[in-house]
Amino acid sequence: MTYVFAFDHKHRKPPMSYKDLLGGKGANLAEMTSVLGLPVPPGFTISTDACRDYMYGGWPAGLDDEIAKQRAKLEKAMGKRIGDPADPLLVSVRSGAKFSMPGMMDTVLNLGLNDESVEGLAKNTDERFAYDSYRRFIAMYARIVQGVDGEPFEHLLETAKEWDGVTADSEVTAETLRRLCLRYKEVVARSTGQPFPQDPTAQLRGAVEAVFKSWGGARAVAYRNREKISHDLGTAVNVQAMVFGNRDENSGTGVGFTRNPSTGEDKPYGDFLVNAQGEDVVAGIRNTEPLDTMGKKFPKIHKELLAIFDRLEKHYSDMCDTEFTIEQGKLWMLQTRVGKRTGVAALRMAVEMTEQKGWKISKDEAIQRVTADHLDSVLHPQFSAGAAFHVLTTGLAASPGAAVGKVYFTADDAVDAVERGEAVILVRNETSPEDVHGMAVAEGILTAKGGLVSHAAVVARGWGKPAVCGAEQVKITGKQFHVGGTIVKEGEVISLDGSTGQVVVGAVDLTVGTTPPEFDLILGWADAIRKGGKGVRGLKVRANADNGPDATRAREFGAEGIGLCRTEHMFLGEDRLPIVRAMILADTPAEEAAALEQLRVAQKADYIEILEAMDGLPVTVRLLDPPLHEFLPNVEDLAIKQATQGLDADETELLAAARSWHEVNPMLGTRGVRLGVVKPGLYEMQVRALMEAAAERKKAKGNPIVEIMIPLTISRDELGLARGWVESAIAEAKVKGVDVTIGTMIEVPRAALLADEVAEHADFFSFGTNDLTQMALGFSRDDIEGRIMAPYVEQGLLKANPFDTLDQAGVGQLVSMAAERGRATKPDLKLGVCGEHGGDPESIYFFYGAGLDYVSCSPFRVPIARLAAAQAVLGAGKASDTR
Amino acid sequence: MTYVFAFDHKHRKPPMSYKDLLGGKGANLAEMTSVLGLPVPPGFTISTDACRDYMYGGWPAGLDDEIAKQRAKLEKAMGKRIGDPADPLLVSVRSGAKFSMPGMMDTVLNLGLNDESVEGLAKNTDERFAYDSYRRFIAMYARIVQGVDGEPFEHLLETAKEWDGVTADSEVTAETLRRLCLRYKEVVARSTGQPFPQDPTAQLRGAVEAVFKSWGGARAVAYRNREKISHDLGTAVNVQAMVFGNRDENSGTGVGFTRNPSTGEDKPYGDFLVNAQGEDVVAGIRNTEPLDTMGKKFPKIHKELLAIFDRLEKHYSDMCDTEFTIEQGKLWMLQTRVGKRTGVAALRMAVEMTEQKGWKISKDEAIQRVTADHLDSVLHPQFSAGAAFHVLTTGLAASPGAAVGKVYFTADDAVDAVERGEAVILVRNETSPEDVHGMAVAEGILTAKGGLVSHAAVVARGWGKPAVCGAEQVKITGKQFHVGGTIVKEGEVISLDGSTGQVVVGAVDLTVGTTPPEFDLILGWADAIRKGGKGVRGLKVRANADNGPDATRAREFGAEGIGLCRTEHMFLGEDRLPIVRAMILADTPAEEAAALEQLRVAQKADYIEILEAMDGLPVTVRLLDPPLHEFLPNVEDLAIKQATQGLDADETELLAAARSWHEVNPMLGTRGVRLGVVKPGLYEMQVRALMEAAAERKKAKGNPIVEIMIPLTISRDELGLARGWVESAIAEAKVKGVDVTIGTMIEVPRAALLADEVAEHADFFSFGTNDLTQMALGFSRDDIEGRIMAPYVEQGLLKANPFDTLDQAGVGQLVSMAAERGRATKPDLKLGVCGEHGGDPESIYFFYGAGLDYVSCSPFRVPIARLAAAQAVLGAGKASDTR
Distance from CA of A883 to the nearest CA of B (A): 9
Q: What does pTM read for this prediction?
A: 0.84
- In 3D space, the residue among B387, B421, B420, B381 whose CA is nearest the CA of residue B404 turns out to be B381
Residue in chain B nearest A755 by alpha carbon: B810
Give the number of residues written for chain B: 883
Which residues of chain B make contact with A677, given a CB cutoff of 8 A?
A: 788, 791-792, 795, 797
Per-residue pLDDT reduced to its tens digit, B50-64: 999 999 999 999 999
- pLDDT-derived band at A453, boundaries 50, 70, 90: low
Measured between CA atoms, the residue of chain B closest to residue A773 is: B750
User: Rounded to an integer, what distance in angstroms lies between the CA atom of residue B773 and that of residue B690?
Assistant: 30
Apex CA B541: angle with CA B537 and CA B544, to 5°? 145
- Chain B contacts of A796, Cβ < 8 Å? 717
Residues 727-756 of B with CB under 8 A from A: 747-750, 753-754
User: Residues near B284 by Cβ (< 8 Å), separated by ≥ 6?
Assistant: none
**With b meaning 16 or more CB within 10 Å and e meaning fewer, what string describes B109-148?**
bbbbbbeebbbbbbeebebbbbbbbbbbbbbbbbbbbeeb
Parallel/antiparallel/unpaired status of strands A320-327 and A330-338: antiparallel
From chain A residues 639-658, the ones with a CB under 8 A of any chain B CB are 639-640, 643-644
- pLDDT at position B758: 98
Partners of A536 in the β-ladder: A533
* Banded pLDDT at B283 (limits 50, 70, 90): low
Which of A634, A674, A675 has the most B C-beta neighbours within 10 Å, making it the best mutation to test the interface with B? A674
**A117 has pLDDT over 50:** yes
Active site residues of B: 455, 834
B881 pLDDT above the threshold of 50: no
Per-residue pLDDT of B89-140, as tens digits, reads 999 999 999 988 877 778 899 999 999 999 999 999 989 999 999 999 999 9
> pLDDT (tens digit, 9 = 90+) per residue, B713-768?
999 999 999 999 999 999 999 998 898 999 999 999 999 999 999 999 999 999 99
Kindly report, residue by residue over B620-644, the tens digit of the pLDDT: 999 999 998 889 988 888 999 999 9
| 3-state per-residue secondary structure call for A820-838 | HHHHHHCCCCEEEECCHHH
Whether B783 sits inside 8 A of A883 (CB atoms) is no
Say if the Cβ atoms of A668 and B669 lie within 8 Å. no
Residue A302 in this model has a pLDDT that exceeds 90 = yes
Whether B797 sits inside 8 A of A667 (CB atoms) is no
Adjacency order of strands within the sheet including B4-6: B4-6, B43-46, B235-241, B91-97, B107-111
Nearest CA in chain B to A771: B778
- Hey, is B627 helix, strand or coil? coil
pLDDT for res A513: 67
Q: Do A778 and B775 touch (CB under 8 A)?
A: yes
Of A214-228, A345-359, B24-38, which gets the smallest average pLDDT?
A214-228
Q: What distance in Å separates residue A638's CA from the closest CA in chain B?
A: 10
pLDDT at A753: 98
Q: Which amino acid makes up residue A514?
A: T
Lowest-confidence region among A753-762, B428-437, B694-703: B428-437
Concatenated DSSP letters for B671-732?
Answer: -THHHHHH-HHHHHHHHHHHHHHHHHHHHTT---EEEEEE-S---HHHHHHHHHHHHHHHHH
> Which residues touch A598 (CB under 8 Å, ≥6 apart)?
A579, A582
Contact A212/A55 with Cβ under 8 angstroms?
A: yes
Give the DSSP letter string of A694-716. HHHHHHTT---EEEEEE-S---H
Task: Tell me whether residues A809 and B717 touch, CB distance under 8 A.
Answer: no
**Mutate: best of A453, A661, A775, partner B, most B CBs <10 A:** A775
Q: Residue A757: closest CA among chain B residues belongs to which residue?
A: B883
Check A775 against B775: CB less than 8 A apart.
yes
Q: Which of B330, B652, B640, B91 is nearest to A636 (CA)?
A: B640
As a residue count, chain A comes to 883
Rounded Cα distance between A731 and B621, Å, is: 58
Strand ranges of the sheet holding A269-274, from the earlier edge strand across to the other edge:
A289-290, A269-274, A252-257, A320-327, A330-338
Max CA distance (Å), chain B: 105
B residues 757..776 contacting A (CB < 8 A) = 757, 771, 774-776
Q: Are A271 and A286 in contact (CB under 8 A)?
A: no
Average pLDDT over residues B419-428: 94
Name the percent of chain B lying above pLDDT 70: 98
Which amino acid is located at A315 in the chain? H
Secondary structure tally for chain A: helices H, strands E: 36, 33
In this predicted structure, the answer to whether residue B542 has a pLDDT above a threshold of 90 is: yes
Q: Are B836 and B857 in contact (CB under 8 A)?
A: yes
Q: What is the interface size between A and B, counted as CB pairs within 8 Å? A: 192
Residues 6+ apart with CB under 8 A from A540: A530, A560, A561, A853, A854, A855, A869
- Is the pLDDT reported for residue A283 higher than 70? no
Q: Give the minimum alpha-carbon distance from B221 to chain A in angstroms, rounded to a whole number.
A: 15
DSSP A533: B
Strand partners, A811: none
Centroid of chain to Cα B121: 47
How far is residue A182's CA from residue A176's CA, in Å, rounded to a whole number?
10
Distance from B505 to chain A by nearest Cα, in Å?
A: 27
All residues of chain B having their beta carbon less than 8 Å from the beta carbon of residue A750 are 776-778, 807, 810-811
pLDDT of B275: 86
A792–B677 CB contact, under 8 Å = yes
Please tell me whether residue A734 adopts helix, strand or coil conformation.
coil
Q: Is the pLDDT of residue A397 over 90?
A: no
Taking the Cβ of residue A669 and every Cβ of chain B, the question of whether any pair is shorter than 8 Å is answered with yes
Mind telling me how many Å the CA of B473 is from chain A's nearest CA? 13
What are the C-alpha distances in Å from A284 to residues A275, A291, A388, A664?
15, 16, 16, 58
Of the candidates B663, B779, B807, the beta carbon closest to that of A668 is on B779
Amino acid B453: pLDDT? 66
SS3 state at B547: coil
- Residues of A recognised as catalytic: 455, 834
What's the pLDDT band for A680 if we cut at 50, 70, 90? confident
Please tell me the distance from the alpha carbon of residue B831 to that of residue B739, in angstroms, as a whole number: 18
Inter-residue contact A592 to A612 (CB < 8 Å): no
- Whether residue B238 contacts residue B25, with contact meaning beta carbons closer than 8 Å, is answered with yes
Mean pLDDT in residue range A593-603 = 92
User: Is B692 within 8 Å of chain A by CB?
Assistant: no
pLDDT higher than threshold 50 for residue B880: no
Q: What percentage of residues in chain B have a pLDDT greater than 90?
A: 70
Q: What is the side-by-side order of every strand in the sheet holding A493-497?
A: A391-394, A502-505, A493-497, A402-408, A424-428, A444-447, A467-469, A396-399
* Residue B434 pLDDT: 74
Q: Are B389 and B383 in contact (CB under 8 A)?
A: yes
CA dist., res. B54 & res. B485, Å (int): 48
DSSP B497: E
**Chain A contact present for B670, CB below 8 A:** yes
* pLDDT tens digit sequence for B561-605: 999 999 877 787 778 888 999 998 888 889 999 999 999 998 999
Q: Under DSSP, is residue B126 helix (H, G, I), strand (E, B) or coil?
A: coil
Chain segment B672-707, per-residue pLDDT in tens: 999 998 887 899 999 999 999 999 999 999 999 999
Q: Which pLDDT belongs to residue B867?
A: 97
Chain B residues within an 8 Å CB radius of A784: 668-670
Mean pLDDT throughout A649-673?
A: 91
